[in-house]
Structure 1
């Protein structure tokens, strides 16, 4: 007779119930103590037998390729099975990952789930610093006063001249703005009222890989593809092991990517089809497992779909890659692409035009009406907030963890999907660390958080020596010893950096740990220094 897990669990319940009835029946007798001791001994013996069977069961199944996050390999039910939220039916049988480590910062200013079509920008910029791995002074091919179409080449890297960077919109070049040491900071374009795209001679979506690569390089879509390790513009000379696409963000006050794909499902599907032609491996699609029902992304074909549920940073493509097929070494090349990049790629092959239109979120507690707007890559932030008066605030391109301070005269980063406005924290707090009178977000239980908070830029302390605790591990759903890794970067220990998993990380993966860091260490800057060192070492 085959003894199943359910049979053993039912037997345990019957035995406990039978012993309880027997104890009650004998309570009136003189042998109550003896029966009680016998019942406890019998229960202990049965528990030992079941525990040994449970351990053997886990050991027996441990060598088999079974996802432990999906299957309970023991006899005892998990707490999540007894009291946890039931998984929606549409996720049954799907690749599902429930991440428990992380933290959702409770901030005010989340955007409304609608798109404001009245907000417009007239100036747009393409900025070389948005693309890691380029020379600081690329070759600029336009001058002030030139007329350009969307998709016209405006600059390229002198060392990688095959990769072309193009105008996000059609219009007139207003300024080639330079930064320190004559580096190119941005190329600013005054947009036409009616957008015009450069014309393309399209190859077949089923063309040879080399032909597709050459076309994408010339078209200007190629810089939308980023390469891991190092998070640089993808190297066209390499064939990636896999390509990862995440379809949602868990960052603070993140935009709703479902608004981006609405009405553009065909373009997104075609973009995924093209990506499959660029790799010998798989295209992995990371989907939001927190949804109550399937979304348009769930209907996408030609990709292996994985659903992720959990707090931030569950939406990061690096976190998803870690749980699907992690990067092991510097030669383990993978490419990544976001929703907007896939849509631009699909629109190019479907309609024959270069289109960087996208939905972004205008967020922050200082805004009276946080909302989504439709614009183009590199939009001027001040024009997006036209008519709104702010005092003592900071405008950030991106979210509060990974974004950059740009001000209202700055422009939206090429890969950013939101703008965040928060109060400047330039008012000192006397004994703020000792008397946390003002509510603030914290992973520590000593500072309780109630409801949503209006953050400031105050860091509540200064940089100090590393304090070794488990705060990093509490917010990072990756098997990485982050404290040790940061220390090895600071002493340039290349072998230790590689052994501790630096190739799996980019700045956004450690941003939440930087927020939780009691030592106030700039983990993102330290990590980028380490990645540059490893890249230089080859």
Structure 2
């Protein structure tokens, strides 16, 4: 399902200072570069669909305020030159051409480097790459469904390409069902439990290859690896991704293929229950209300919008905000929110008091904000522990 409009929703966790490669009114082919980072030219964003640029506005600090496309000439797809990269994979020598191709096509930004959760530097060689073919978030789509048919073949080609980018094994994380891929000496299958947060990359990394400042670990979604294979095979980027549209505000759960940045109203409105609803890009744990599908999101959650109640007087609000935060009580739920992989209360105390050394020793360098979303949901703490983790990671990175 290609919605009539699409927009770019980078979210707050992607630090991107935009330099437009197009202007309002331009027609762009699907998959063509439209933005790049002013500071890091290897970070490129491509057009989610063929169409005309209806809005393109910059905000403070050269951050993107708005980018909206209207669908036109949907068969217009940008083709890339892949010969040199394919030769590197075939002969098993070098990776320079492959890296350039992934950067030009915007797929380099699909990698996340840990510690710190940045897009990797162009020449960095990671210790290993985790490919996530599992997602345990509530109501998330089953990655197995996305990796069938031609995508299964492109996934294998994409894994061969990843092997050129690192010296170690590729860690393919999947559920406990039948093998999704055929493992080999360069690709190892790791089986993950079905209970959230077991299927988050941070906990998979912490268990087997904890990130360190001197050892980078990358992670990438399996469907993005299949996109690398499609690019190498067909010279073009995939036009859609698999997305679930679900939640208590829906009459039925949908599983659709839509373009990145799809209009969430077009996806959900016809199937929503009556009443005031909020449409989140992402899961109920960390999703944000949005018009457009988020840059990394593969699910849409529709929930009932909280109804008013009596507005608080400004003095009552001020007194509540000025009071000391409530203590977090050690419970099984808090421990389970970190999967039992990390001493929960010790990590939360370290984050609360800003003890960065303890955060690092307890495994915080393998984690990102999404890994603490369940903790935030359970504790309702203010400030959120995901925000405290980001502040701690930023301080550790600045002091290296």
TM over 0.5: yes
Match of 1:276 among 158, 163, 166: 163
- The separation in 1 between residues aligned to 2:206 and 2:363, in whole angstroms, is 11
Q: How many residues align?
A: 378
Q: Is the 8 A contact 1:227 1:336 kept in 2?
A: yes
TM value normalised by structure 1 = 0.66
TM-superposed deviation, 1:311:
1.0
Q: Does 1:466 align with 2:324?
A: no
- The separation in 2 between residues aligned to 1:186 and 1:230, in whole angstroms, is 27
Mapping for residues 123-202 of structure 1, pairs under 5 Å: 123-129=5-11, 132-134=14-16, 137-179=17-59, 183-202=63-82
Match of 1:233 among 87, 106, 119: 119
- The separation in 1 between residues aligned to 2:337 and 2:2, in whole angstroms, is 38
Distance 1:280 1:299, change over 3 A: closer
Q: 2:315 maps to which residue?
A: none
Match of 2:138 among 252, 261, 269: 252
TM-superposed deviation, 1:267:
0.6
Q: 1:333 maps to which residue?
A: 216
Q: 1:323 maps to which residue?
A: 207
Match of 2:376 among 505, 508, 514: 514
Q: Does 1:122 align with 2:4?
A: yes
Distance 1:163 1:521, change over 3 A: closer
- The separation in 1 between residues aligned to 2:378 and 2:353, in whole angstroms, is 23
Q: 2:319 maps to which residue?
A: none
- The separation in 1 between residues aligned to 2:378 and 2:324, in whole angstroms, is 13
Q: 2:268 maps to which residue?
A: 385
TM-superposed deviation, 1:346:
0.8
Q: Is the 8 A contact 1:467 1:518 kept in 2?
A: no
- The separation in 2 between residues aligned to 1:526 and 1:175, in whole angstroms, is 34
Q: 2:317 maps to which residue?
A: none
- The separation in 1 between residues aligned to 2:187 and 2:123, in whole angstroms, is 23
Q: 1:367 maps to which residue?
A: 250
- The separation in 1 between residues aligned to 2:60 and 2:327, in whole angstroms, is 32
Distance 1:521 1:383, change over 3 A: same
Distance 1:396 1:220, change over 3 A: same
Q: Is the 8 A contact 2:2 2:259 kept in 1?
A: no
- Divergent runs of 4+, >4 A: 178-182, 518-521
- The separation in 1 between residues aligned to 2:55 and 2:324, in whole angstroms, is 38
Q: 1:534 maps to which residue?
A: 396
TM value normalised by structure 2 = 0.87
Q: Is the 8 A contact 1:466 1:521 kept in 2?
A: no
Q: Is the 8 A contact 1:168 1:355 kept in 2?
A: no
1:109-161 CA distance string (max 9 Å, x none): xxxxxxxxxx5412122344466243xx4211211101111232212112112
- The separation in 2 between residues aligned to 1:463 and 1:366, in whole angstroms, is 35
Q: Is the 8 A contact 1:225 1:341 kept in 2?
A: no
Distance 1:428 1:463, change over 3 A: farther
Q: 1:288 maps to which residue?
A: 175
Q: 1:503 maps to which residue?
A: 365
Q: Secondary structure at the match of 2:161?
A: helix
Q: Tell which structure's C-alpha radius of gyration is larger.
A: 1
Q: 2:313 maps to which residue?
A: none
- The separation in 2 between residues aligned to 1:313 and 1:130, in whole angstroms, is 22
> Is there any run of 5+ residues in structure 1 with no aligned partner, and where?
1-118, 430-461
Q: 2:281 maps to which residue?
A: 397
Q: Is the 8 A contact 1:394 1:424 kept in 2?
A: yes
Q: Does 1:414 align with 2:280?
A: no
Q: Secondary structure at the match of 1:498?
A: helix
Residue range with higher mean Cα deviation, 253-262 or 301-310: 301-310
TM-superposed deviation, 1:385:
2.2
> Is there any run of 5+ residues in structure 2 with no aligned partner, and where?
311-322
1:349-387 CA distance string (max 9 Å, x none): 011112241111010122112110111111111111243
Q: Is the 8 A contact 1:120 1:383 kept in 2?
A: no
Q: Is the 8 A contact 2:351 2:385 kept in 1?
A: no
